[in-house]
Structure 1
Amino acid sequence: MTATTAPLSFSGHSLDEATLLRLYEQLLRPRLIEEKMLKQLRGGVISKWFSGIGQEAISVGCTLALQPDEFVFTMHRNLGVFTSREVPLDRLFAQWQGKPGGFTKGRDRSFHFGSREYHIVGMISHLGPQLALAAGVALWHKMQGEPKVSLAFTGDGGTSEGDFHEALNIAAVWKLPVIFVIENNGYGLSTPVSEQYACDSLADRGVGYGMRSLSIDGNNVVEVFDTVRQLAAELRAHPEPVLIECRTFRVRGHEEASGVKYVPTELIEAWQDRDPVVRFAAYLHETGVLTAEFEATLTASIKSEIEAALARAADLPDVAADPDMELSDLYAAVPGLQTLPGEIRELRFIDAISDGLREAMRAYPDLVLMGQDIAEYGGVFKITEGFVEEFGIDRVRNTPLCESGVVGAALGYGIAGGKAMVEMQFGDFVSCGFNQIVNNLAKLHYRWGQNADVVIRLPVGGGVGAGPFHSQTMESWFTSVAGLKIVYPSTPEDAKSLLLAALADPNPVLYFEHKGLYRSLSGPVPQGFTPGELGKARIVKEGEALTILTYGAGVHWAMETVASLNHDIEIIDLRTLAPLDYAAIRQSVAKTSRVLVLHEASLTGGFGGELAAWIGEHCFELLDAPVRRLASLDTPVPFAAALEQQYLPKGRLEEAVLALLGY
């Protein structure tokens, strides 16, 4: 990026003196805070700092142009958003120092936090995911008929991420009232924009998504404020997304430790001549709006405010490590539910899932279903067939083919106040949404107390000749991620009741449903709103000679095998893998003293390894034989029937049971 030689011009506006002075005060406050934080960084009071000096006009202008209850999604250098929203400085300082008075109880740093009170959602380190969240909030506003917008920041480097493109595409297709703001500051860490994109302007990218886009001077607070204020007013009346490129420059390092040796000195000097705070102050002096006396008084007042807040933060105690508190804050509280069962009907597994979804849609008017082809087509498995006729196209939404963006939009919709269910067309495709699930959904409540009310349905499993990319069962990808709940039913009754429990739960739930059971398994299912309880295993068959610990299709393999053997074998269906019913596991081990852990996923790295390790560590004295695992081969899932049968553990189950019984 080359420096523009054009001086900042603040003429041609119609802002009154009070607004101009407010803009200046809000520009000055983050500048003075940053100057103090740089000293605190050198003094070791804080450990890291991402400077926004020289970029304040973007954060301040955008935030003041919005209504106070409109959500803003921030990045590293958006201190001006927090100060313009009047977030208490002592809480900000406590946050940056890792004190309990901050927003994350010392669990995250700098600007990696949010606050529903101030309608701010902070970033995660993976650039780009916050954009889809802003689209989700905008979806909430549009569906509620609220004349509001959301606004999300990203950097020039972040526009290279797939999340940028997915979010813009979703917002454009759904015509959502969201403003995407690119802070084009010349560098992604040390990578110049010439190595980030080949178009003339990042605003050009909006054209490809059919959205309005424009490029403005990001150092001109009046231009930023006027532009965003006008666009926000238009979008409130006529929802659609807009892309704004704000041209600016990062005059300090990506973070202070990285320095700026890679930046030509003359480039920094040229942009320092366009300093948004200094130049706006000069303009206000020239026009008589700002006097030297008022400026000195204001500066002294802000500095005094900073020092007083720092003193209050310093008086706060350091964080005390408490494992019980850490674990208790992992999930949001689950509401009590009343089960209203009706008559019993015989339903197929797939129909029980559909029935559960219908009951949830009736029980929760704000529940929205999202997925590829789930609307008029009813989904590839027809689970949502007929839903559009009953619930409408707004609540049963076809999505573009972009799993990460859809999960992010669902999360944003949940943050705004709704519930969302995302259907992965095949569970295998969840890999494309992995980052949103493990870094946003899973960590949100632990980090700053925000629940993530999203259920992701995953049609999984082999035995249907679908090959390597439509047959995986990937629960072990997620069981090691704290903050997720994981459900894996094996009966029609559980398929409905546990889905209702998942949708009632305000925490993120991954709901695994085995495709092989969809139309091959039927069973009794109570009608009505019948949520079960997550975290409770089920005794499928009682016995005393050996325990088969399993879930999903493994339950039926175990039942079939045990029926052919003349042995007293207990079968435990875990049903949920997180939270896990350790008490039921131990109780069964105490009764049988032998355990075979059975699952469909490949052996190495499978969830069975965790189960076997826990039993060995906590139930060793109860065992008469080593815990044995039986799982699929350590290969991808093959296509040909003979190869797939060999891959799956079902054919080896009887041998494994007899070997363990004879140990």
Structure 2
Amino acid sequence: MTMDLKGLGPDQLTEMYRHLLYPRLIEEKMLILLRQGKISKWFSGIGQEAIAVGATLALEPNEWIMPLHRNLGVFTARNLPLSRLYMQWQGMQGGYSKGRERSFHFGSPEHYICGMISHLGPQLAVADGVALAYRLKEVPRVVLAFSGEGGTSEGDFHEALNLAAVWDLPVIFLVENNGYALSTPVQEQYRCISIADKARGYGIEGVTIDGNDLLAVYDTIKGVREYCIRYRKPYLVECMTFRMRGHEEASGTRYVPEELLALWAQKDPVLQYEQLLLNKKIITEDILQATRQLLKQQIDEELAKAEQGSLLMIDAAEELQSVYAAPGITGLPTDTVGMPATERRFVEAIREGLVQSLEKDKDLVVMGQDIAEYGGAFKVTEGLVTIFGKQRIRNTPICESAVVGAALGLCLEGKKAVVEMQFADFVSMGFNQVVNNLAKIHYRWAQAANVVIRMPTGAGVGAGPFHSQSNEAWFMHTPGLKVVYPSTPADAKGLLMAAIEDPNPVLFFEHKALYRSISGRVPDKPYVVEIGKARQVRRGQDIAVITYGMGVIWAEDFAAAHPEISIEILDLRSLLPLDYEAIRTSVKRTGRVLVLHEDTLTAGVGAEIAAWIGEHCFPMLDAPVLRCASLDTPVPFNKELEKNFLAKQRLGQSIEELMGY
């Protein structure tokens, strides 16, 4: 017996025993219920309880934790009631996610627990964002993020550790090394001797400890916490342990050698700790048994309470309303009539929107590659660092996933974030964070995600397949996101300020070719343009061109060159949500509709709009709804090939065809 008491008193040691035993007894009960068919799935942490319990007890209760499937001890040590946890596991209305999520895929802000997603790795970058918020607020706290040894093979692990190291963030990265990522053993996962060795590659400290020794975990995390706060640096802790059950119960443990299971059974954290307390005469066998009986009774009472809760009340309207956080009162005007205005280029309007938002809201942070001294690839943020400082205008490493995750972490602590993608094309490197973490978080556990991702987009500048894509349709399909795409300087500023005020994640598309090619009168003072409202560019009777972004410019140029056709132009401005009433009005007025967009044709924005018109406005039509889009190819580099690729090349032909009906 090598465990020691770490200077702790009898009362504290006894209380820690209750915290350690409680999740074990809950799990044993859940396995019985699973065999009885009363629950559908269980991810067991039996054999690993000392890590979750010891780490949680070592933190302050207002410090965020990012747990995973096998960390029941985090939730019980933070005193989440078992009755509600059980309702969560059963998909009941009274659970933390109201039946919308499974098992431990939920968060509880009041307990400072951030809900995981199945992809595991994104949790680590969210911890970076929380830690950044602590640094900005100058509060002496740390955040702790769990990973399994298998998760350390993911790119998210590298990005999160590197970002935390570069930014000197107080994050404890805790790796539970139980030897198997589902069934793949560690020798097929990595070649370094220990995961703690990986810390050196990021210029940070790391340590390997016995994860089955409750007091070693507690004492180590206590010390590491003090280190992270004192030196404002991250730390990697590898906890060696073993999972005595399957990845989840259905998978079993047939791939594990029997002798390995027998060896780790002797290292059971609960039995080890009980023996320590008995040997040190901190507790007696009678007290152990009485504690077990008391906790089992508590479990039965909590489960009985849960069974009295409602199962599920299905309300489609409420489900739809829960996808988005309700916007608050911005205090900014939407009516700009009579407001002093100045002629500004598109890029200048966006910059002014950023400046005025940063002035208005001290909790706003802007992040991106080369955005500080360099001013960004397109100089949108030029000079902002001299006004607001490097704490709020932050250069990032090349790590799109970690930066988007960190933006979400900032939101957990009440801050706002604007992330600049150097090119919209590069958002694919952070795609999971956007469509699975940001987009779904409010629906899952009512957490707002006040994040704007600025997306320099579009072709026409001879930049080829990876710097010219129009990828707005990727995100229009994802509930929980908002997608905005302005075509004028005034809208660019007003929509950007509205997006920053919005408590939901917004993809804000900025056409690169518009940055310095168009100008317009832009109100000088702060204002917002309502997201989800289209703009009637011009009124007509013969045909309606429904479009957005560069398509508006193309349509205006065509209409000006063909006064013989009465063309109505509707600038959507927002793609998610769409202004269906404005679309209906244009259809009714003209009877002929062309949907124009720069993106490729198949499954583009135009397909959705054409389908909606066909379903809801069919009696108003005098001709089929036509789409005019770019070719279904990657964006070519050669200028002549690019010109042929773009929808503008076929605009006249499409209007002529539509007018022929």
Bin for the TM-score computed over the shorter chain: over 0.9
Q: CA deviation at 1:291?
A: 1.2
Determine if the alignment matches structure 1 residue 286 to structure 2 residue 282: no
Tell me if 1:547 matches 2:549.
Answer: no
- The 8 Å contact of residues 207 and 237 in structure 2, kept in 1 or not, is answered as yes
Q: Residue by residue, what CA displacement relative to the aligned partner does 1:476-519 show, whole Å, maximum 9, x if unpaired? A: 11111110000000000000000000000010000000000000
Task: Kindly provide the amino acid, as one letter, of the partner of residue 563 in structure 1.
Answer: A
- The residue number in structure 2 matching 1:260 is 253
Q: Are 2:136 and 1:138 equivalent residues in the alignment?
A: no
Aligned to 1:3: none
SS at match of 2:525: strand
Q: Secondary structure at the match of 1:478?
A: helix
Counterpart selection for 2:377 from 376, 380, 384: 380
Higher mean Cα deviation, 364-373 or 12-21? Answer: 12-21
CA deviation after TM superposition for structure 1 residue 338, in Å: 2.9
Aligned partner of residue 434 in structure 1, secondary structure = helix
After TM superposition, give the deviation of residue 301 of structure 1 in Å: 1.3
Q: Secondary structure, in 3 states, of the residue corresponding to 1:458?
A: strand
Determine the structure 2 residue equivalent to 1:584. 582
Which residue of 312, 317, 326 maps to 2:310?
317
2:473 aligned residue:
476
CA distance in 1, matches of 2:148, 2:495: 41
Q: Helix, strand or coil: the match of 2:508?
A: strand
How far, CA to CA, are the matches of 1:46 and 1:141 in structure 2? 39
Pick from 625, 630, 633: which aligns with 2:631? 633
2:426 to 426, 429, 440: 429
The yes-or-no answer on 1:357 pairing with 2:354 is: yes
3-state DSSP class of the match of 1:511? strand
Q: Specify the SS of the correspondent of 2:340.
A: strand
Partner Cα distance (2:237, 2:552) in 1 = 54
Distance 1:237 1:188 in 2: 34
8 Å CA contact 2:5, 2:215 repeated in 1:
no
Distance 1:15 1:548 in 2: 74
Task: Letter of the 2:234 partner, please give it.
Answer: P
Partner SS for 1:120: coil
Query: Which residue pairs with 2:81 in the alignment?
Result: 88
Residues 103-145 of structure 1: CA distance to partner in whole angstroms, max 9, x if unpaired?
0000001000001000001211012000000010000001100
- TM-score by length of structure 2 reads 0.98
What CA distance in whole angstroms lies between the structure 1 residues aligned with 2:424 and 2:273? 54
Structure-2 separation of matches of 1:24 and 1:11? 14
User: Which stretch of structure 1 is more off in the superposition, 355-364 or 226-235?
Assistant: 226-235
CA apart distance, 1:236: 2.0
The answer (yes or no) to whether the contact 2:455–2:508 under 8 Å persists in 1 is yes
Which position in structure 1 is the counterpart of 2:229? 236
CA distance in 2, matches of 1:44, 1:563: 70
- Residue identity (%): 58
SS at match of 1:357: helix
Distance 1:609 1:447 in 2: 29
Using the TM superposition, name which of 115-124 and 332-341 deviates more. Answer: 332-341
- Structure 2 counterpart SS, 1:181: strand
Comparing 531-540 and 289-298, the one that deviates more: 289-298
For residue 156 of structure 1, what is the amino acid of its counterpart? E
Shift of 1:66: 0.1
- For 2:597, give the aligned amino acid: H
Q: Which amino acid aligns with 1:243?
A: L
Alignment of 1:208 with 2:201, yes or no, is yes
Give the corresponding residue for 2:187: 194
Q: Which residue of 2 aligns with 1:606?
A: 604
Correspondence 1:511 to 2:504: no
Alignment correspondent of 1:249? 242
Q: Which amino acid aligns with 1:637?
A: V
CA distance, structure 1, for counterparts of residue 256 and residue 413 of structure 2: 41
Equivalent position to 1:573, from 571, 576, 592: 571
Q: Give the CA deviation at 1:305.
A: 1.0
User: 1:172: which partner in 2?
Assistant: 165
**More displaced 10-residue stretch of structure 1: 329-338 or 133-142:** 329-338
Q: Which amino acid aligns with 1:618?
A: H
Unaligned runs of 5+ in 1: 1-7
Task: Supply the distance in 2 between the matched residues of 1:134 and 1:9 (Cα, whole angstroms).
Answer: 33
Q: CA deviation at 1:238?
A: 2.3
CA distance in 1, matches of 2:412, 2:470: 29
Q: Distance in 1 between matches of 2:409 and 2:35?
A: 37
Match of 2:493 in 1: 496
Whether 2:27 is the aligned partner of 1:34: answer yes
What is the letter of the counterpart of residue 596 of structure 2? L
Kindly report the root-mean-square deviation, in angstroms, between the aligned alpha carbons of the 2 structures.
Answer: 0.9
Checking the alignment, whether the CA contact within 8 Å between 2:199 and 2:206 is kept in structure 1 is yes
Q: Which amino acid aligns with 1:226?
A: D
Aligned with 1:121: secondary structure? coil
Equivalent residue, structure 1, for 2:104:
111
TM-score (norm 1): 0.98
- Corresponding residue number in structure 1 for 2:461: 464
Which of residues 363, 368, 374 in structure 2 aligns to 1:366?
Answer: 363
Provide the C-alpha distance between the structure 2 equivalents of 1:175 and 1:18, rounded to a whole number of angstroms.
37
1:623 corresponds to which residue? 621
Question: Which residue is equivalent to 1:5?
Answer: none
- 1:237 Cα deviation from its structure 2 partner: 2.5
Deviation at 1:12, TM superposition (A): 6.1
For 2:414 and 2:171, the matched residues in 1 are separated by: 17
Q: Would you say the 8 A contact 1:127–1:161 is kept in 2? A: no
Deviation at 1:409, TM superposition (A): 0.5
Corresponding position: 1:348 with 2:329: no
Deviations 1:435-487 (A, max 9, x none): 00000000000001001111000000000111111000100111111100000
What does 1:20-169 correspond to in 2, within 5 Å?
A: 20-169=13-162
Write out per-residue CA displacement over residues 58-86 of structure 1, whole angstroms, 9 at most, x where no aligned residue.
00000000000000001110000000000
- What do residues 18-41 of structure 1 show as CA deviations (whole Å, max 9, x unaligned)? 221121111000000000011111
Distance 1:451 1:310 in 2: 31
Give the counterpart letter for 1:521 in structure 2.
Answer: I
Q: Report the Cα distance in structure 2 between the residues aligned to 1:570 and 1:15, rounded to whole angstroms.
A: 77
